[in-house]
Chain A
Amino acid sequence: MSVAPTSTREPGGERVAVTDYVTVFVDGQLFGLPIASVQDVFMRGQMTPVPGAPPEILGLINLRGRVLTALSLRRLLGLADPLAQGAMVVGVEHGGESFGLLVDRVGEVLSLPVSDRRANPGNLDPAWARFARGIYWLPEGLLVVLDIDAALGLGGAPAEPDGAI
C-alpha cells in the first residue's frame, strides 16, 4: 500500500509532505484510508449474499455495472457486529478487482503531514496491527491508518506475511 505523500503544502513557506486520507468511522474509531486507493464512496444498496463465503465477505454489490465484493470492516477488525453492518461503502481496487468496504460512516478528507505519523502502539490488538500502518494524534482523537491491501489479502485465504493474496 502506498502511504507516500500525495501532495505538499507550504505553511509559512516551509514545504511539508502530506498524505490525503479518506476518513471513516467503524465502531466509533476513526480510520484513515489513503485517498489514492479509494475509488468511490456510496450508500449501501442491494447486496447479494454468497453462501459459504468467509464471514467478513458480506456479499456482492452492483456498482454501475461492476460487481464489487463487499467486506465488513467490522468483521475484519473482529468487532461486534450489530444489525447495522455499515451504512456506507468505500470502493477500492486490489489485485485488479473491485471491492467495497462497509463502514459505519464516512468523514471528511484530511491532509496529514507524513512526519506526524507515529508507529503502531505496542499494545495494539494483533488483529488490528495487521492492517494498521501507524497512527495520527488528532485533536478529535486517534486516527488509525488502514492498509487496504493487507485488509483485502486477509479476506479469504489464511493471511500471508506480506498480506498478498
Chain B
Amino acid sequence: MDDILREFVTETSESIENVDRELVRLEQEPNNEQVLRHIFRLVHTIKGTCGFLGLSRLETLAHAAEDLMSRFREGAPVTSEAVTVILATIDRVKLILKGLEEAEREPEGSDEALVEALERLARGAAAGPPVIAVESPPAAAPEPPDPTARERPEPARAPPARRTDPVSRLPVTPGVQSVRVGLDALEGLMTMVSELVLTRNQLIDISRRSELTEFNAPLQRLSTVTAELQARVMKTRMQPISTAWQKLPRLARDLSAELGKDIELVMSGAETELDRQVLELIKDPLTHLIRNAADHGIETPLERMRVGKPGRGVIRVSAAHESGTISIEIADDGRGLDIPRIAALAVERELATAAEVETMSEAQIARFIFAPGFSTVREVSHVSGRGVGMDVVRTNIELIGGSVDVSWTPGAGSVFTLKIPLTLAILAALIIETGGQRFAIPQVVVVELVQPRNSSEHRLATINGQAVLLLRDMTLPVLRLSRLLGLPGEDRPVDDSFIVIMRVGKRSFGVIVDAVFHTEEIVVKPMSALLKGLTFFSGNTILGDGRVILILDPNGVAAAAGDAPAAAGRESGEADAALGPLRQERTAFLVFRAGDGEPRAVPLASVTRLEEFDASRIETLGGRRVVQYRGDLLPLVGLGPDGAVPASGVQPVLVFSERGRIAGLAVDEVVDIIEDHLDVRPVGQSPGVVGTAVIHGRATEIVDVAHYLPLACPDWFEPNEQSRASGARRVLLLESTPFFRGLLGPVLKAAGYDVVAMADGQEALELLESDRRFDALVLDVEAPGVGGFEIAEALLGDRRAPLPIIGLATRPSRETLDRAQRLGLFEFVAKFDREGLLAALADGLQAREAAA
C-alpha cells in the first residue's frame, strides 16, 4: 500500500476511536466546550486529510458530520438523536477505512441517507441563532488539507470566527516529537534485551565464583546499564490502559439503547500503564464484563425506581497498580448476585448436587458463574452471549497469570476484580527444588513458606492419603510436588521439606518441595508447541548458571489441588482473616537493592541509622574503604561479590553499631521500610544470606549482616575490653537452623561468653546431664524433636541450681509464650533480636547471681 495512504489509515483509525469515546462524553456533558472542541478537531482533521488524498466518500461524510458538529459549537443543543447519527457515521467511516486497508481504495457504496440525516439535523440544529446557511460542497472539490495549507484562506462558507479558532493550528503540536515504530521492531528489541539480561545474570554468577576481581567494576556498570535498558525497553511497550478502554463508553451507550436501560460508565485510573501484549489480551474479557454488568447487574429504570435507586445505573471501571500487578475493577450498582438462583442453576446444570450446594458458602456458590456452560439468564440474550462468557473471561485472564473474582452486596451491586500481571515477559520467581530438579514458581502466587514440622502454628496431617495443613486456623490442601510431577522423592521425610503456600484467585493450597532457594527475575520463554499439553508448566527460562528450568503454572497446580473455591469451606473474607495473623505480628524491614538489583532486606531494628555520603568523601585507609562520620571513621563494605564500594555518585549507607563499634553497608538504593511478618526460611549454603522471607508479597533475601560487618571491621566480633572484663560465662546455645546458629554464636562470643553451640536437642540434653559448668542456656524452642521446651521440662525436675533459660523463636506466638512462662523460662527473644538476646542474657545471669 501507498505509504501515505497507510499512514492515513493508521492515524485515522486511531483518532476515530477517540471520537467514539468523546462523543459519548459529549452526550453526557453537552455543555463541555472542551470535549466539543476536541471532537470537532478530530473530524476536521479527518476531513482535511481525506480531501488531500482524494477520498471522496470519506470526505463527504466527514464534512457533513463536521457541519453538524459546528452547529453544536455554536450553541445548538446536543441531542441523543444527533449523537446516534454521528456514531452511525463513525461506523461507516470505519467500514470505509477497512475497505481502504484491504483494497487500497474506497469501497463502493452510497452514504446518501446518512449524509441527508446529518444535514437535516444540522439544519434543525441551526434553528435559533441565525447562522450562515450550509451548502454541501461538491465532493470533487477537496478542501485544503490541514496543516499543509493552513495559511490559505478557509473556504468562504466557513464562519469567519473559525479562522481565529485554535482548532486550525492544533494539528501541529509543538514540542512533541515522535517516530512511529512497528510493533515487531519493539518485540525484537525486547527479545534481545531479555537475552542480554540472561547473559548479564550468567556473568554475575561466574564472577561470584571466580577469584578475579578486575571484572567487578565493569560488570557492575554492565549490570546497571542492562537494568536501565530493560526498564526503558519495557517502558516503550507500556501503554495506558485507556487504549483498551476506548471502546467501552460506546459499548455502554449501545447497551443502554439495546437493553432499554439507563447506564452511565465511569472510568478512573485510565493512565495506568501496562504491557501492550497484556492490554491486547484483556480487551475481550473487559468488554465481556461490561456486557455482563449491563445485562445481569443493572436493572431497568423502572425496577430501580421501585427499590428507591436512581433510574440511571452506574458501571465503574477503575484500574490501579498494586505491587507488580494491575488491579482492574468493574463495579455496578445493580442488583448483585442472586445466590439462590445461581445455586439452583448449578444443580440444574449438574455442576454440583443439591446436597453439596447445601453445605457451600455463598462465596463458593458465586464462583459457579465462572464455571463452563453456566448462565443465569434464562432467555439467552444476544448481549452477554450464551453463557460461555464468564468462564471464557476466567480462562483468558488465568492464561496470562491473572485472576478474576467477584464480590457483591445483594441489591446494591457487584464488583468483579481482575488482577493482571504488568508484563508477561519478565517475572519474579521463587526457585525451588523437588525430586532433584529445580523449578520456578511465579512470585505473585507465593503467600508464605512453612516448615512442615508440627508447631503451635501449623499441623500437617493426612486424610485418606491426602495431606492437609492446618495453618493458624485455616485448613489447606497440600500436594507433594514430586508426586504431582512424577519425580522421585516419595519416601523423603516431610520434616526436611518446605511447604510453599500458594494462592491462586481465592484458592490457597500448599505444595511440598525439598528446598527453597532465592528469588530471581526470569525471562519467560514459551514452552515448545510439542509440550503445550502439559498443564503444570507455563514456560521455561535460563537461570544465571545457564541451566534451563521449567516455570510451574500455578493454575495447573491449583487445579490438581482440587477445584474447591477458597480453602476448606471458608469464605474469602474469612480466609483473609485467617491469613490475618501474618499481618498482626509485624516486623519492620528495611528493603534495599544492591548488587544484581534483587530486593534484599535487613530487620530495621538492626540498623542504627541511614546515611548518604558523596562518593568523593569515601577514602581508602589501609586497603579499607572508610568515611569520616561523626568524628569517627566509619568502615564501609559493599554487598557485591568482592565487597567493593562504588566510587561515584551519592552512596546510600546503612550504619550498624554494636558495643561501641560502627560499620556501614553500602547499598545501591534504599527502597522502602516495609512492615511484614517475620518468617524467615533458610536458603541453601549462601554466605551473606540469612534466608528468604516474604515481604510485601515478594520473597526477599534477608541479608546476614554478621557476614558483612566483619569484612568492614575485622574485629567486629572480637570480645571488646568491657565484655572481657566481665569474665567468661559459659552459655549453651541450642539452635537447630545453621544460619541462626551461625548468626547468634558469634554475637554471644563477641559479647564475651564462652559459647557451646549445638544443633541437636537430644545431644544438648545429654551434654547438660554430664556437664554442669553452664551459666545460662539459650534454647531454640522450635528445634525438632527435643527442643527448648523439652529441655526446660527435663531440667524442671533437676534439683541443681536453676539455670536461666532464654527461649528463642522466629516468631513467638501467645501459646509459646504461655508455655515458656509455665516452664519458668527467664525470657523469650526473637531470633533476630541480637541486642535483646544479650540484654536478656545479662539480666538472667545477674538475677541468678543475686539469687545465689
On A, residues with C-beta under 8 Å from B are: 46-54, 57, 59-62, 65, 67, 69, 95, 97, 99, 152, 155-157, 165
Contacts and interface: CB of A to CB of B under 8 A. Distances in A.
Nearest to A154: B530
> Lowest 4 CB-CB distances: which A-B pairs, in order?
A156-B530, A51-B485, A69-B528, A155-B530
Nearest to B482: A51
B546 interface: yes
B547 A62 contact: yes
A51 B486 CA distance: 7
14 contacts: A48-B437, A48-B547, A48-B549, A49-B437, A50-B537, A54-B530, A57-B531, A60-B550, A62-B542, A65-B198, A69-B530, A95-B529, A99-B528, A157-B530
A61 B529 contact: no
B794 interface: no
Main secondary structure of the interface of B (DSSP, over half): mixed
B534 interface: yes
B548 A152 contact: no
B536 interface: yes
Interface in B501-531: 525, 528-531
Interface in B474-499: 485-487
B533 interface: yes
Nearest to A156: B530
Nearest to A152: B530
A51 B530 contact: no
- Interface size on B, as a range, is 20 to 34
Q: Tell me which of A61, A65, A95, A152 has the highest count of chain B C-beta atoms within 10 A of its own C-beta.
A: A65
Given A51-B487, A52-B534, A65-B199, A60 B548 contact: yes
Nearest to B536: A52
A107 B546 CA distance: 29
B547 A53 contact: no
A48 B533 CA distance: 18
Question: A51, A54, A67, A152: which has the most chain B beta carbons within 10 Å?
Answer: A51
A152 to B, nearest CB: 7
Given A60-B540, A65-B195, A156-B530, 17 more contacts: A46-B546, A46-B548, A48-B548, A48-B549, A50-B531, A51-B485, A52-B536, A53-B530, A53-B531, A57-B531, A61-B548, A67-B540, A67-B548, A95-B529, A97-B528, A155-B530, A165-B530
Nearest to B195: A65
A165 B529 contact: yes
A49 B536 CA distance: 14
Contacts of A61: 548
Given A60-B540, A65-B542, A52 B486 contact: yes
Given A62-B542, A67-B542, A48 B530 contact: no
Nearest to B487: A51
B527 to A, nearest CB: 8
B536 A51 contact: yes
A57 B529 CA distance: 12
Contacts of A62: 542, 546-548
A156 B486 contact: no
B617 interface: no
B31 to A, nearest CB: 55
Nearest to A99: B528
Contact of A50 (B529, B542, B546, B550): B550
B533 A157 contact: yes
B536 A156 contact: no
A28 B547 CA distance: 31
Contacts of B525: 67
Contacts of B537: 50
A48 B550 contact: yes
A52 B527 CA distance: 13
A99 B547 CA distance: 16
B532 interface: yes
Contacts of A48: 437, 540, 547-550
Contacts of A95: 529
B195 A53 contact: no
Nearest to A45: B546
Contacts of B487: 51
B529 A97 contact: yes
A46 B547 contact: yes
A153 to B, nearest CB: 9
Given A50-B550, A51-B485, A65-B195, A156 B437 contact: no
Nearest to A60: B548
Contacts of A59: 548
A60 B549 CA distance: 8
A157 B199 CA distance: 34
Contacts of B485: 51-52
A156 B195 contact: no
Nearest to B436: A49
Interface in B394-438: 437
Contacts of B528: 69, 97, 99
Contacts of A67: 525, 540, 542, 548
B542 A69 contact: no
Give the one of B485, B486, B487, B548 with max A CB within 10 A: B548
A57 B531 CA distance: 9
A152 B437 CA distance: 26
B546 A57 contact: no
Nearest to B537: A50
Contacts of A97: 528-529
Given A67-B525, A69-B528, A156 B547 contact: no
Contacts of B542: 62, 65, 67
A155 B195 CA distance: 27
A63 to B, nearest CB: 10
A154 to B, nearest CB: 9
Interface string B632-657: 00000000000000000000000000
A59 to B, nearest CB: 8
Nearest to B194: A65
B517 to A, nearest CB: 15
B548 A69 contact: no
A52 B537 CA distance: 10
A4 B549 CA distance: 38
A97 B531 CA distance: 12
A110 B537 CA distance: 41
Contacts of A49: 437
A88 to B, nearest CB: 19
A143 B215 CA distance: 51
B609 to A, nearest CB: 43
A156 B528 CA distance: 10
B514 to A, nearest CB: 14
A107 B548 CA distance: 28
